[in-house]
Amino acid sequence: MEIEIPHRALVLLIGVSSAGKSSFARRHFKSTQIVSSDHYRAVLTDDENDQTVTGDAFRLVRIIVEKRLQRGLLTVIDATNLKATDRREYLDMARQYGVIAIALVFRLPASVLNGRHQARPDRNFSADILQRQIEMMPILDRNLPFEGFQAIYTLDSPDEIEQTVIHQKASRTDGPFDIIGDVHGCYEELLELLAKLGYEAATFQSPTGRKIVFVGDLVDRGPDSVAVLRLVMQLVDQGKALAVLGNHDDKLRRKLLGRNVDMTHGLAETIAQLDAEPPAFRQQVLTFLERTPYYIRLDNKRLIVAHAGLREDLQGRSGESVRAFCLFGETTGEVDAQGLPVRINWASSYQGKAVVVYGHTPVSEPVWINNAIDVDTGCVFGGKLTALRYPERQLVSVPAKQTYAVARRPFLTL
């Protein structure tokens, strides 16, 4: 098997003890790329088998993993990774920092695992623990495809592990990019804009090597959220596009997870469209939304794309306050006469070096304010669908074919 792994990726080695994960990691990755729970047990006690410091060892693992992902570095977690809760934490980090998450599953026969365990003098835990790990594998097989990994590779035998070849592939994050504002289900306008930007009609390939970036709010209010989702998911999967999560996308994600959310602002129509699709497609949408980051940093951190923007002090950070700002921007806590949040124009005081491209609040015309620009020109409300060409700073727009929804307040004029 040959496996391509981007430089901006998080790789989880998953499998029972004695499956050969550590040897595989040492053979295929730099020592600096490997974050090993055994290593940090040894750092803390001089004994990598000392289970009394497992909690502290994994706290160190999480710290190092997050710091590496913040820098966009390939990071390989060498641990059993058999618990879904542990994988979820790592997947959340990958999503937050906009890196690919890949699972390498080592599924060897129990007879091989038991034989290796008995032959290893360095493993001082009982065979009962190994058996419990083996019994977790069927649960892993059921859950893993739905957890949000972009790729899952399974190695079923010692020969397959030995013969696997890893190719580390450089990820292009320097552009050029076409950054597209809030689509909101306006599929026909999206196709027209992509054609105007020069993308080939059948393949959506850029003849000049450009990549599409979506600022979020792919769904709701417009006529065909499903078609937009299907296209964007395809483009992201093929490496032709990147996307960040908008507040409407996040609300759809929570609804698909079974959460209790208000079916307002076009969500009911989006759910009705999804109900007409096979259940497998709904699961694909959920998986896509679960792995889509809140913001991404590109061009060596000179460009940030976030749905509602991102203040300088929040850049490179994670947490609830960062998530909330990316999805909703900054508000006063009050509401206006239409019952909508009163927003603070955070860009007016922005002094960061990174260019920030965002959407969320419809504007009559995009205007640069302190190295930040809002490219949501309200297509779904009868305005335009706009793209910013980066690094050229050129704006390209197509008009809405009709007014699909009525805006509750006038477009912002900056």
- Across 129-133, 157-161, 316-320, which has the greatest mean pLDDT? 157-161
pLDDT tens-place string over residues 285-305 = 998 998 898 999 898 889 999
pLDDT at 309: 97
Q: Which residues contact 265 (CB under 8 A, 6 or more apart)?
A: 220, 221, 248
Over residues 107-118, the mean pLDDT reads 81
pLDDT at position 339 over 80 = no
Q: Which of 18, 151, 167 is nearest to 91 (CA)?
A: 151
The pair of three-digit structure tokens given for residue 225, joined into one six-digit string: 């959220």
pLDDT tens-place string over residues 370-407 = 999 999 999 999 999 999 999 999 999 999 999 999 88
- Sketch out the chain's domains with CATH numbers: 2-169 (3.40.50.300), 177-399 (3.60.21.10)
pLDDT at 202: 87
pLDDT tier at 338 (50, 70, 90 boundaries)? low
Q: Which of 63, 61, 76, 60 is nearest to 7 (CA)?
A: 76
pLDDT tier at 78 (50, 70, 90 boundaries)? very high
pLDDT tens-place string over residues 245-284 = 999 999 999 999 999 999 988 999 999 999 999 999 999 9
The pair of three-digit structure tokens given for residue 223, joined into one six-digit string: 């006529």
Return the SS3 of 302: coil
Q: Which residues contact 257 (CB under 8 A, 6 or more apart)?
A: 286
Over residues 309-315, the mean pLDDT reads 94
Q: Any idea which of 81-85, 111-115, 165-169, 237-241 has the lowest mean pLDDT?
A: 111-115
pLDDT at 173: 67
Cα–Cα distances in angstroms (integers) from residue 241 to residues 10, 173, 356, in the given order: 19, 11, 18
pLDDT tier at 171 (50, 70, 90 boundaries)? low
pLDDT at 131: 83
Do 98 and 306 contact (CB within 8 A), yes or no?
no
Single pTM value for the model: 0.70
Q: Which residues contact 250 (CB under 8 A, 6 or more apart)?
A: 289, 327
In angstroms, the CA 247 to CA 384 distance is 20
